[in-house]
Amino acid sequence: MSAAEGVILRENAQVSIIIPTYNESRNIIGILKSIGENLPKNITAEAIVVDDNSPDSTGKIVDEYLKNVKKIAGYTMDVIHRTSKNGLSSAILSGIQRSRGDTIIVMDSDFSHPPQIIPKLIESLKKYQCDLVIASRYISGGKINGWTLKRKIMSKFATLIAKKGLGVKTKDPMSGFFAFKKHVLKGINFDAIGYKILLEILVKKSGIAIKEIPYTFENRRVGSSKLDISTATDYLKSVWKLYKFGKPKEREEKRSSVRFLSKASRFYTVGLSGFGVNYIISLLFVGGISDLWYLHATLIGIIASITTNFLLNKTWTFHDRDFSKKRTFKQYGKFVTFSSLGGLVQLVMVFYLVDEYQLSYPIALVLAVLSAAFGNFVLNKKYTFKEKVWG
């Protein structure tokens, strides 16, 4: 094939396969070859390796290989050299920027993502008329080979956080193996922290058609995973960012009474959880993690439970995701004030009911607790979280 033809193929590439590498000297050439062998014959494709100046010379090895390799019909290869290790997500974005195809495939370079699945990914985009196809370990037919129990649990846990915390419906939002039409990225402003570029797409893009197809993830045979503790904290950071990004998608319940009651029941569930927090934290500080005087421990328990109550009510009961410092501190101040006020109301009421109205103490207590709790909810709803009382 002439060089000119090679150029034409590059221009025409329909599918761009993005392959980030960091210290993959023993995998990269093998994976490039294997991708070439597995590509469907009727398409033109380019592989773009994105290397972050790997100390094991992955980048140079690819350069050498590309100098000598005989171009394969319909398949070109390219490499981007970045100067330092800047994270998987941002490497993928660099690759996409360089890409020419209107279909993008993202995959690892360590054979965990079998190149045999590539044709299925491409076919599925057409067959199911969708914009994004995810190779999934967590739908029926999919699985993971060779992972330790610990890694499996971590993965499941991360997936659970994404589903429950971010409302993602996909079964494997942590997948690193997926294909999509380039237009999917339009309008997304990426944070690109850490590993989870797919999750970012899933949260930030709505209205696209998504399909998952099963595959078996094979743990890498050579080299080691780059996933470490900082990847895990990056994950939590990015979930937090995505969480704040998301607009609460509450099914708008029309009946005010139902809205009121469901918020009230969340508010009191949180209140109950506060007892647990209070108890556990107090006990931890008398003899658990430290040995404080029991009154100090109790105080810490109270502060801890007010704080968890506040955060849970803010995020869960009232769906408030605005965590700007000023707003949050102001709300916290009001919340603490109303909580203390509740205690005071309770004391005064018990006193009056027993002393003036001669009620028995148990009945007086129930009445006082109920009024304080009710007042607490209404005041926080109206003044702390600025909602109408009814509704």
Residues binding ligand GDD (CB under 6 A): 20-22, 24, 50-52, 85-88, 91, 108-110, 112, 155, 174, 176, 195, 220, 225-227
Q: How far apart are CA 316 and CA 297, in angstroms?
A: 28
**With CB cut-offs between 5 and 8 Å by kind, which of ligand GDD, Mn ion, none does residue 142 bind?**
none
How many residues lie near Mn ion (CB under 5 A)? 3
Binds 109: which of ligand GDD, Mn ion, none (CB < 5-8 Å by kind):
ligand GDD
Nearer to Mn ion, 52 or 110 (CB): 110
Least distance from ligand GDD to the Cβ atom of residue 255, Å: 42
Stretch binding Mn ion (CB under 5 A), from 30-38, 105-113, 157-165, 348-356 = 105-113
Q: Which does 74 bind (CB under 5 to 8 A by kind): Mn ion, ligand GDD, none?
A: none
CB of 220 to Mn ion, least distance (A): 5
Calpha distance 303→291 (Å, rounded): 18
> Among 16, 94, 112, 175, which residue interacts with Mn ion (rule: CB under 5 A)?
112
In SS3 terms, the chain reads as: CCHHHHHHHHHHCCEEEEEEECCCCCCHHHHHHHHHHHCCCCCCEEEEEEECCCCCCHHHHHHHHHHHCCCECCEEEEEEECCCCCCHHHHHHHHHHHCCCCEEEECCCCCCCCHHHHHHHHHHHHHCCCCEEEEECCCCCCEEECCCHHHHHHHHHHHHHHHHHHCCCCCCCCCCCEEEEHHHHCCCCCCCCCCCHHHHHHHHCCCCCEEEEECEEECCCCCCCCCCHHHHHHHHHHHHHHHHHCCCCCCCCCCHHHHHHHHHHHHHHHHHHHHHHHHHHHHHHECCCCECCHHHHHHHHHHHHHHHHHHHHHHHHCCCCCCCHHHHHHHHHHHHHHHHHHHHHHHHHHHHHHHCCCCCHHHHHHHHHHHHHHHHHHHHHHHHCCCCCCC
- Judged by CB, which is closer to ligand GDD: 75, or 178? 178
* Residue number with CB closer to ligand GDD (125 or 197): 197
The mark string for 197-226 relative to Mn ion (x by CB under 5 A, - otherwise) is: -----------------------x------
Nearest approach in angstroms of CB 117 to ligand GDD is 13
Q: Which does 300 bind (CB under 5 to 8 A by kind): ligand GDD, Mn ion, none?
A: none
87 binds, among Mn ion, ligand GDD, none (CB under 5 to 8 A by kind): ligand GDD
Rounded to the nearest whole angstrom, what is the least distance from the CB of residue 224 to Mn ion in the complex? 9
Which residue number, 20 or 301, has a Cβ lying nearer to ligand GDD?
A: 20
Provide, rounded to whole angstroms, the least separation between the CB of residue 14 and ligand GDD.
23
Of 24, 51, 52, 110, the residue at the interface with Mn ion (CB under 5 A) is 110
Cα radius of gyration (the chain) = 28
Which residues from 306-365 bind Mn ion, rule CB under 5 A? none
CB of 213 to Mn ion, least distance (A): 20
Give me the residues that bind Mn ion (CB under 5 A), please.
110, 112, 220
